[in-house]
Structure 1
Amino acid sequence: MTAVPDPQGHQPEAEGQQPAAGWTPTWALGRAVLLTGLLLITGVLLGRVDLVVLAAPFALGTAYALRRRPTAGPQLWITADGEHLVEGGDFAGSVSIGNPDTVGYDVAVVRTRVSPWLLVERAQVGGARVDLSRTGVDRPFVTVVDTGTAVDLELTGKARRWGRHPVGPAGARVAAAGGLLVSRSVLTERVSVGVYPRTEPFEAVEAMPRAAGLVGAHHSRRPGEGGELAGVRVFGPGDRLRRIDWRVSLRARQLHVAATLSDRDAEVVILLDVLAEAGRSGGVGGAASVLDTTVRAAAAIGEHYLHRGDRVAMLEYGPAARRLRPASGRRQYLTLLEWLLDVRAEASPHEPYDQVFGPQVLSSDALVVVLTPLLDERSAQMLARMARSGRFVVAVDTLPTDIAPPGRGRGWAEVAFRLWRLDRATMISQLREHGVPVVAWAGAGSLDQVLRDVSRLASAPRARGR
């Protein structure tokens, strides 16, 4: 039990609450008045003094209970501790009911809704603890609120899945004057709790196809001032004398210089295919849907490259075509996690390629990591178009390996599912023939061999037409 916050704290208007408009009599007050009236009228009409004496305690008790009537309704607000909350972490929230009146509330009943992905295991109100592991949080909680104080319904549990999960709306009703008066329902709007995806340990090789910035741990494939040796070539105009390799020059009887690669940061674009969803999410520790694998893999890959000083951008291949501009550092990592909380699978009849891959959106030198379940033909066409345009593309298959066919055991469902699997495998083979490496996401080391192949292709000489 705590003191009611001042007017600059949790105001009903500021929190979107609906304050009680007044107090209404309860059935107890109606029965007391009716019984008192019947006894008095019957005693007067029949001349029965005993009936009048019997009605006196009911009349005095009702008058005594109503001597101090409440005028202000209760206040209600929700708070949730959702700062840097990760899947599987401990969740804590509270629903507070305050009494700004000079009369105490005899009984206060509070009820709230909580997202099923926030598994509330325990509740504490008024010093009493309640185990909710079996019953759930969708139940009323009863407490007493003294004048000028507030009582918190504290909820604790586990965050089971990434995303923005609501706590609330919540409602409360209170009774005063010995239970003879009850307030109207007070409601408060829900608040959202952001749960970040749990990132799996991810490591990738140092090889990068190209880079265009000036900082970072990955070496560029472009020649320039740096510390990594790229080879030895013939001395040309503009070369510095300190770069001359005298051993090779004496052997070849011609000046040669040591060529180096510039130390520049790489730009990594993580593209999320949100055209389709498959599988059923079981939260952290359970089965993973396509969207779960996509978001968690994007967080792991982004964390890996951002911690190495590279620039990371995010794109959605879908109707919304959301974009996160490339940047580096810890601020970009937190922004990336916040951006991932709003990822939603949404089907669209239109082709989103042009609005996603405009000339001012996607750099031609960036390494594009596409997280896709390859459930839509447009996704495969998008990968092929990007490969033909000369971009460095790596496709990560996010379809769960244990996905079950719909309607298992019903006639041709198994056969149709096998045919669909064969057709999808053929599509993946065609993508590889077009130069798009496709690899299934398997956590750490998933992209090592693919990145080596892409880097080797990027460093190979290309024929140029005149």
Structure 2
Amino acid sequence: MTVWQTTPALARAAILAAVGALAAVTLGEPVVVVLVSPFLVLTLMSVLHRPTERPRVDNRLEHVSLHEGQGTRSRLRLTNADDVEVVTRVAQPVPYVAMRPAAGALVALATDNHDLQLSPRRWGRRLLGAEGVALTSRWAGFRFGVVTVSGQEMFVLPARAPYDSRAEAPAPVGLVGAHRSRRNGSGTEFSGIRPFASGDRLRRIQWRTSLRTGALHVVTTRAEEDSAVLVVLDALVDLGRSGGVDGEASSLDLGVRAASALAEHHVRRGDRVGLRVLGAHDARLATAGGQRHLRRLQGLLARTRIERSRLPEGFTLGVPGGTVVYVLSPMLDDGVVTAVASASQRGVPVVVVDTLPEDVRMAVAEGTDEALAELAWRMRQLDRDDLLRHLAATGCPVVPWRGPGTLDQVLYRLARRAQLPTVRVR
């Protein structure tokens, strides 16, 4: 149990005061008492202000769920601390968590602000390190602690990447949304003019055409529907080095942030969004809409871990009809490439977002010839480029992630292709 203990400063002051008083009496020199009087005053004041209560120390985070790059405070709560004058707290450094003060050490008066500012720099679960807290009484005579306070868990969501697109969904299949449908309905996009029929609304009458032809005609419009979107994230491997939200991005960093940006964009437009994380556990989230669903989706992204495993034989994306699929992957697994090509050949609108960082290098195991490893990696990249060219030739576009406007031209082409007539063999 932690109790108040005498500080070395009080012990030194008491010893010097006692030795000085003894020397003054022994030698008969009153001037010695004058020399040691400051130490005598310090000893007396420390003893008079001896703490009588046992304080309690606890810390609390203002926000336990943040987006990477945002900040919060770790507040230190003191109870029964009337006798405390100085607070000293030292926090252990945690990877991808910036602190202010930078070293995590803070000394302040008990009446001043002694909060520690924190800012997570990468998505995921971050367990803050334990803190050591020491309390000092008035006149620095007694010290309480060091008290060890356990760190709290912080849940860090992916950063809100700036992404927006004006492109329409290739094949909207829903009820109400912002995408122009291929069928006529109650919308705002002009479709054509036809003769009046029973059940048409009077406000749809086109009076100029009606007066010219002598018969009533109405304006027809395109329906506006929402779209179903499936985001597939490849978590089988993580290539490159992660430097946090302000530094270099690994392949998994690019994939997680791009998936969060795409999901937020489509949810904001009223679409239904689903998520599938390829890995050992094959985490899935059914398609839905709304801010609550977006929060669950970002939470699943934040729990993503590198799961080195092989996809089962005959692996497919399992996409229902009318769904737009975004595959975020470095495209280094043959199973992922085969599943994407199969879905594209079945007519599913698939867009591959290449998340392989530029100038990435593979980690070389100790004892491996670096020149041989570099040659093997270059050969693997050539093989990957050839696979991506064949994939693009099947009608599946492959684009690197570049933020806003990355997929505009691709979605425009897919939407135009969806409006072309198709030939079916019976």
TM-score by length of 1: 0.69
Q: Runs of 4 or more off by more than 6 Å in structure 1?
A: 28-39, 57-64, 229-233, 257-260
1:205 aligns with 2:178: no
- Counterpart amino acid of 1:209? P
1:445 Cα deviation from its structure 2 partner: 2.8
Instruction: Select 1:111's aligned residue among 79, 90, 99.
Output: 90
Identity of aligned residues (%): 32
1:397 Cα deviation from its structure 2 partner: 0.8
Q: 2:238 touches 2:250 (CA, 8 Å); kept in 1? A: yes
1:411 aligns with 2:371: yes
1:289 Cα deviation from its structure 2 partner: 1.5
1:395 Cα deviation from its structure 2 partner: 1.0
Q: 1:290 to 1:35 in 2, by over 3 A?
A: same
Aligned to 2:73: 93
1:320 aligns with 2:281: yes
1:165 Cα deviation from its structure 2 partner: 3.9
Alpha-carbon distance in structure 2 between the residues aligned to 1:461 and 1:258: 24
- Counterpart amino acid of 1:374? M
1:274 Cα deviation from its structure 2 partner: 1.1
Alpha-carbon distance in structure 2 between the residues aligned to 1:270 and 1:378: 17
Residues 2-151 of structure 1 correspond to what in structure 2 (within 5 A)?
Answer: 21-24=2-5, 50=26, 65-66=46-47, 68-81=50-63, 85=67, 87=69, 89=70, 91-102=71-82, 104-120=83-99, 122-123=100-101, 136-138=102-104, 140-145=105-110
Residues 36-435 of structure 1 correspond to what in structure 2 (within 5 A)?
Answer: 50=26, 65-66=46-47, 68-81=50-63, 85=67, 87=69, 89=70, 91-102=71-82, 104-120=83-99, 122-123=100-101, 136-138=102-104, 140-145=105-110, 152-156=113-117, 160-176=121-137, 178-192=140-154, 194=156, 196-206=158-168, 208-222=169-183, 226=187, 228=189, 261-351=222-312, 357=317, 362-404=319-361, 406=363, 410-435=370-395
Alpha-carbon distance in structure 1 between the residues aligned to 2:2 and 2:396: 65
- Counterpart amino acid of 1:141? L
Count matched residues. Answer: 401
1:197-231 Cα distance to aligned partner (Å, 9 max, x none)? 1312332422x232232111102345656555678
Q: 1:167 touches 1:193 (CA, 8 Å); kept in 2? A: no
1:310-346 Cα distance to aligned partner (Å, 9 max, x none)? 2222221222333333233444444444443333332
Aligned to 1:458: 418
Alpha-carbon distance in structure 2 between the residues aligned to 1:427 and 1:101: 68
Q: CA RMSD in A?
A: 4.5
Alpha-carbon distance in structure 1 between the residues aligned to 2:313 and 2:132: 43
1:232 Cα deviation from its structure 2 partner: 10
Q: 1:197 touches 1:295 (CA, 8 Å); kept in 2? A: no
Alpha-carbon distance in structure 2 between the residues aligned to 1:316 and 1:183: 46
1:422 Cα deviation from its structure 2 partner: 0.8
Alpha-carbon distance in structure 1 between the residues aligned to 2:423 and 2:359: 44
Aligned to 1:253: none
- Counterpart amino acid of 2:108? T
Alpha-carbon distance in structure 2 between the residues aligned to 1:184 and 1:286: 36
Q: Which runs of 5+ in 2 are unaligned?
A: 207-217
1:222-255 Cα distance to aligned partner (Å, 9 max, x none)? 565655567899x9xxx9686999xxxxxxxxxx
Q: 1:65 to 1:377 in 2, by over 3 A?
A: same
1:429-452 Cα distance to aligned partner (Å, 9 max, x none)? 232344422222222332233223
Q: 1:164 touches 1:341 (CA, 8 Å); kept in 2? A: yes
Alpha-carbon distance in structure 1 between the residues aligned to 2:300 and 2:389: 33
Q: Which runs of 5+ in 1 are unaligned?
A: 1-19, 44-48, 124-135, 246-256
Q: 1:299 touches 1:337 (CA, 8 Å); kept in 2? A: yes
Alpha-carbon distance in structure 2 between the residues aligned to 1:181 and 1:82: 31
Matched residue of 2:264: which SS? helix
Alpha-carbon distance in structure 1 between the residues aligned to 2:313 and 2:91: 40
Alpha-carbon distance in structure 1 between the residues aligned to 2:2 and 2:246: 47
1:364-409 Cα distance to aligned partner (Å, 9 max, x none)? 2211111111122222122123334543211111111232455699
TM-score by length of 2: 0.75
- Counterpart amino acid of 1:217? A
Alpha-carbon distance in structure 2 between the residues aligned to 1:318 and 1:213: 30
Matched residue of 2:107: which SS? strand
- Counterpart amino acid of 1:459? Q
